[in-house]
Amino acid sequence: MGPLLVNTNNGNDSFQKGLPMSIQFGIWNFDGRRVAPHEVEAANSILCPYAPDGVSEYTTKGLTLVHHALHSTAESRREKQPYILRSGTVLVWDGRLDNRKDLIRILRGVLSTEPTDVEIVAASFDRWDTGCFAQLLGDWALTIWNARDRLLVLAKDILGVRPLYYSNDLERVTWSSVLDPLVTLSGKQFELNHAYVAGWLGSYPAADETPYVGIRAVPPSSFVSIRPDRETIARYWDFNSGKRIVYGSDRDYEEHFRSVFKEAVHRRLRSDRPICAELSGGMDSPSVTCMADSIASTCPDISEILTLSFYDDDEPNANELPFFSKVEEQRGRTGLHINFSGISIFNFDETESFAALPSQTSGQPKEPFRQQASFLESNGIRVVLSGVGGDEVMGGVPTPMPELQNLFVQGKFRELATNLKLWALAKRRPWFHILAEALSDFLPGSLVPQSKSRHPAPWLTDRFVARHTHILGGFRRRLSFLGPLPSFQANMGALDTIRRQLATKYLPTQPAFEKRYPFLDRDVLEFAFAIPREQLLRPGYRRSLMRRAMADIVPAEILERRRKSFASRGPRVAISTEWDSLSALTKSMATSRFGIVDQQLFREALLAFRNSDKVPLIRVMRTVTLEAWLRHVVQRGVLVNSGIEVASKVKAAMALNA
């Protein structure tokens, strides 16, 4: 019996529950045994709430591929997936192809008149095999099945924006854009991945990790090749450390940045529905919004652009409203404002839906996000623009270290001395302290006193800290004198953090939309990594290039604003007002029974934070979230090392507190 391609598209384009992109799912039994229909049906029952635009399946001996569609562009409505090449290779594509025009020009002899993204990707693979991955610009995840060679390939874009998880054992491999079916339908329990937990408590886990031993994520900028007898992971592309962009004047850098940033925003405006731009009072999201407006003013085919803003008028030093209002004045249009003041931030109510990741039990306020969902749904929005990445890429962190380190390894000591004096004045610190800090990054960690931000939380157990010191410290690596410039090494470290941050995000189901990140465009990143560091940041003048380049596009009040304050009053008040529920959470802690947290020390830390003592706020929040999530999965019985004792005691404690 040959392969069976089934299309169950219901033709309903109404705005329903969904996810931020299309979904792919598959099962391959290595022995050729037919995939049981009830397994696919069970997976589809989990995945269908994420897919408003129909489901298609490809089935052959031992394998089933499933595609759940989400349409956000006119081209996506004409796609037919899974896509079968003339060679018999089958492809499932979840993504947005940004360099369509370039690839169409190269492949014009083999494409239809108006090709879809998936057709272009298929033709690219037909010509270049896995070498095509480096040619695909945009956010994407891809499944390729080669029946002749009995080969499965899973690949992801360079940032890993689109999720793709897989579980490979001796008998089969199962993969999915959503983690839930791999956990709940496996028919087994999983060991808790303590390395993932350490990453969650330190900064972010490694991008290829999940909380479950035996389930991994496809790494960014990589592809996984799976055969019945082996699995390999290969990196298909990386940034060129030797690339340099050097101009003779500031104006040339400003024009080049405006050009690549404009193209990055324009690429992400491809939509056949209204677009929502997240708008805060910082520099990044206003830059995205104002550039989008500038593009739309000369391109009549751009969809309507609306804005959505969060603020908290209880935070006297961190209220965004006065600043994003300036952007709205320039636009001549007010967006949706959602006020967080007085909202509970510790919502850990048990729900019927399974939370596969700790981030899904983060206690986010329900009412503000109901307002957000209603706004997106009522306006038919499926594309949301985000300013994430701007700080990390464009010099938002006001540190001169990479620039000074470059001068040191290049032997430019006279220039180093001049810059040390300038930065010493700007920072109001002795120049030799700044130099010592710059050189300390070249030394082994054992020789350098750790900053407080890199110290593990004091309530973690000694054994857990000893096993995961490097991860808890944020995966810090010392700089090398040899090879790429220190600034390039620092950029790669920042990019790794962004990749890890993106990997912790979960897929919302109410309503369907996809996040797009102009600052994480490959051309923007390559430009920022190749120009002299002093273009991005200057003594007393953070975000130098952006401020200069965007002067005629973004309101002056935004560009001249000092670095945004960190809002801390709300969480402190919340801990005080919700002390009873938090106090109950510290009794018979699941994290303590897993050997992660010292229960008494954490309770003392909460008390200190309640009394306004200096306690790391983010680590308190991460620990509370982890505790809530771990209780959730223990109750669901998905962890093998939770054991009867842990599960029963946690359930008993929760019942008692209730």
Which CATH number belongs to the domain containing residue 98 in this structure? 3.60.20.10
CA neighbours within 13 Å on the CB side: how many for 311? Answer: 20
In this structure, are residues 487 and 213 in contact, taking their beta carbons and an 8 Å threshold?
A: no
Do 488 and 502 belong together in one domain? Answer: no
* Residue span of the structural domain in which 18 resides: 4-179+215-235
Query: Would residue 564 count as lying in a domain?
Result: no
Average pLDDT in the chain: 87
Query: Would residue 477 count as lying in a domain?
Result: yes
Alpha-carbon gap, residue 620 to 457, rounded angstroms = 8
Q: Which of 540, 559, 578 is the last residue of a domain?
A: 559
Which span out of 206-215, 390-399, 600-609, 633-642 was modeled with the highest average pLDDT?
Answer: 206-215
Give the neighbor-by-neighbor strand order of the sheet with 4-7: 4-7, 55-60, 63-68, 23-29, 172-176, 165-168, 216-217
Query: Would residue 102 count as lying in a domain?
Result: yes
Q: Which of 497, 514, 542 is the last residue of a domain?
A: 497
Is the model's pLDDT at 11 over the cut of 70? no
In this structure, are residues 507 and 50 in contact, taking their beta carbons and an 8 Å threshold?
A: yes
Do 124 and 271 belong together in one domain? Answer: no
pLDDT tens for 469-488 read 999 988 888 899 888 999 99
Give the pLDDT confidence score for residue 571 in this predicted structure.
Answer: 63
Query: Would residue 374 count as lying in a domain?
Result: yes
Higher pLDDT, 613 or 137: 137
Q: Estimate the crossing angle of helix 522-530 against helix 250-267, to 10 degrees.
A: 160
Do 313 and 164 belong together in one domain? Answer: no
Banded model confidence at residue 231, pLDDT cuts 50, 70, 90: very high
Do 83 and 223 belong together in one domain? Answer: yes
Do 97 and 225 belong together in one domain? Answer: yes
Do 24 and 64 belong together in one domain? Answer: yes
Hey, what are 78's tokens?
A: 């004409």
Q: How far is CA 414 from CA 283, 407, 441, 645, in A?
A: 34, 9, 21, 66
- Residue 635 CB neighbour total at 10 angstroms: 15
Give the pLDDT confidence score for residue 353 in this predicted structure.
Answer: 80
pLDDT mean over 180-207 = 95
Degrees, nearest 5: CA angle 448-453-459:
105
Do 15 and 52 belong together in one domain? Answer: yes
Cα-based torsion angle of the residue sequence 519, 521, 522, 525 in order, rounded to the nearest 10 degrees: -10
Query: Would residue 108 count as lying in a domain?
Result: yes
Output the domain CATH number for residue 505.
Answer: 3.40.50.620
Query: pTM of the full predicted structure?
Result: 0.91
Query: Would residue 209 count as lying in a domain?
Result: no
In this structure, are residues 222 and 236 in contact, taking their beta carbons and an 8 Å threshold?
A: yes
pLDDT tens for 202-215 read 989 999 999 999 99
Q: Which residues contact 331 (CB under 8 A, 6 or more apart)?
A: 289, 293, 307
Do 158 and 302 belong together in one domain? Answer: no
Alpha-carbon gap, residue 172 to 174, rounded angstroms = 7
Do 86 and 221 belong together in one domain? Answer: yes
The number of folded domains in the chain is 3
Query: Would residue 651 count as lying in a domain?
Result: no
Do 90 and 69 belong together in one domain? Answer: yes
Alpha-carbon gap, residue 154 to 92, rounded angstroms = 10
Do 383 and 515 belong together in one domain? Answer: yes
Give the pLDDT confidence score for residue 451 in this predicted structure.
Answer: 57
Do 417 and 537 belong together in one domain? Answer: no
Query: Would residue 229 count as lying in a domain?
Result: yes
